Chains A and B, each alone.
Chain A
């Protein structure tokens, strides 16, 4: 079997959660998007956090599946996360920061559960 870390399904869920958190950071690093949320953030910190989380998403994927499956899972999860963030930013901007935070917690929880199960 190729899965050595998380199963493909566990990996997909983990990536959706951490991908949402990562893309929320990258989204709010843009001044225009931050203005829509009505808050001010430290841009370099958000950019670093966002790209670091993307790197973790990719690293866990490569550790869990063969490279082809890892790429498919990563891009699929990031597509869903993007749609979610666009929807929130447009219609519920005040929720975006919390969704970004909670999804990071959910990512940690799903990773821990995946490792334990």
Chain B
């Protein structure tokens, strides 16, 4: 019966008759997925980590205190304003970000166009500031979770002029792979819960199908919204047809309304307390995300107060624009200035998941992991299928197959080790070393490179076990290294209820243990393979003699 079930199951690549639509789609699915597969895997790994970007930021700066949200808005605003007046006099812009929630655990200030002659520390800069005392919160220099998640579209070393195009092409190919994947999967509902382990290519196909189908809405959303993110880059002519460059377009669509040039005439900035009270009356308490002051001290000063975005999925914030010299409310700008921007905000908000509280954030993370697994199983299946074919024929396997297999091992397992190396580097590079943030990223990419070299040199039978074992050890040891290099070790975090640190340490530990289980499984498979080869050898000799 099991055999009958196996034979009747979906093997989309082989069931389709030659020349049929489904076969054409199978071909497209295979070849759309492969060329950008390793890049997509990188994008999924770093993007999935991005759902905990703020938590990773905080783990990577253990010197900083616990999150400071929940303080009185008026008091915090005064503290930040005083700091900006001392730090950046005569600036074109002051931006005060309030510690509101998980997305903004600390208060921060940003300024640009300040006068160094008037006593500004720098013309442009930003600082993380204690919400009560106004003192600078200085952690170690690090790229943190932000750099890690930004890699998934900036590609770190690449220039935006071509990285945008590479990312867009990869995303387009991903969309093609998703749509064709749905077309060629003949039994989406019947095989919804079916996974048959230990059956080689069939098992990889089942795993690929389950991971894809169970998270299909997420994968479609993340890919489509990813394309929307890049829309202005890969369809520049649409903006170009209506605007003189992208600047005026961005100003009209994204900038707050009613901003004007400085008048060049001094006028004191109105006290912000009434403006904040007006915003809280409209939005409710503790709903203010940031206060953006343009031309402070000028007659044309404008104060833009933005609303927190966690009440809806959409990424855009509602804004109130006040005259900074009189305090008059000039504009009430809704989060979406038009229906089109509203749709865009929803898709971008869905992609970023900034609205998600802890349980939903974990579900986002899980869906990201499923996407990562979907790409990984797709890549591995490409190799497994062709390896089986190659073994049926005599002669050496084709070089393309060997290349894919080695890239698979060096990327699917190697990139995980590389991410662990990023965290290792954060703890092991001296905290006061110049350019340490750069070296954290270099450590990650050098480790990935080393894993690729290792994969190129080792045999197919050994490489997966070795790489996965290294990845497991690399993740399991992160909490140990954290414990040895900081006071905020796992036991301490659990005892003090520091769930950001405890959560990070427990997550990497769990990931390491899961990888350890996979390594154990690979080890047993390796032994089985050796035993079966030994058993086959005498038979082969006998066959040859006969």
Contact = CB atoms under 8 A, between A and B. Distances in A.
Q: Report whether chain A binds chain B.
A: yes
Interface of A: 1-2, 7-9, 12-13, 16, 23, 27, 30, 32-33, 35, 66, 68-69, 72-73, 75-80, 82-83, 85-86, 89-90
A66 B193 contact: no
A83 B363 CA distance: 12
Interface string B213-242: 011011000000000000000000000000
Contact of A68 (B210, B313, B358): B313
A72 B214 contact: no
B35 interface: no
B217 A86 contact: no
Nearest to A91: B197
Interface in B348-365: 349-350, 355-360, 363-364
18 contacts: A2-B311, A2-B312, A8-B360, A9-B359, A12-B359, A13-B359, A33-B194, A68-B312, A72-B350, A76-B366, A79-B367, A79-B370, A82-B192, A82-B193, A83-B370, A85-B193, A89-B195, A90-B195
B193 A69 contact: no
Contacts of B356: 8, 72
Contact of B363 (A33, A80, A86): A80
Contact of A72 (B190, B284, B360): B360
B340 interface: no
A50 B5 CA distance: 24
Nearest to B365: A76
Q: Which of B197, B360, B367 has the most CB of A within 10 A?
A: B360
Contact of A90 (B1, B190, B192, B197): B197
Interface of B: 1, 5, 190, 192-197, 210, 214-215, 217-218, 284, 311-314, 346, 349-350, 355-360, 363-364, 366-367, 370
Given A30-B190, A76-B364, A83 B359 contact: no
Given A80-B363, A83-B370, A68 B350 contact: yes
Contacts of B195: 86, 89-90
Given A79-B215, A79-B367, A68 B346 contact: yes
Contacts of B313: 66, 68-69, 72
Contacts of A66: 312-313
Contact of A80 (B5, B210, B366): B366
Given A68-B350, A69-B360, 20 more contacts: A1-B311, A8-B357, A12-B357, A30-B190, A30-B193, A32-B194, A68-B312, A68-B313, A68-B346, A69-B313, A69-B355, A76-B363, A77-B363, A79-B214, A80-B363, A80-B366, A82-B210, A82-B214, A86-B195, A90-B197
A89 B311 contact: no
A30 B284 CA distance: 50
Contacts, number: 85
B210 A9 contact: no
Contacts of A79: 214-215, 218, 363, 366-367, 370
B311 A32 contact: no
A2 B284 CA distance: 13
Contacts of B346: 68
A13 B363 CA distance: 10
A33 B214 CA distance: 17
A76 B214 contact: no
B360 A9 contact: yes
Given A12-B363, A76-B367, A83 B214 contact: yes
A74 B210 CA distance: 18
B218 A75 contact: yes
Contacts of A85: 193
Contact of A73 (B1, B358, B360): B360
Given A68-B350, A80-B363, A9 B358 contact: yes
Contacts of B355: 69
B193 A27 contact: yes
Contacts of A73: 360, 363
Q: Which of A2, A16, A79, A80 has the most CB of B within 10 A?
A: A79
A8 B359 contact: yes
Given A7-B357, A86-B210, A76 B218 contact: yes
B371 to A, nearest CB: 11
A108 B381 CA distance: 41
A89 B358 contact: no
B312 A86 contact: no
A2 B5 CA distance: 47
A32 B190 CA distance: 9
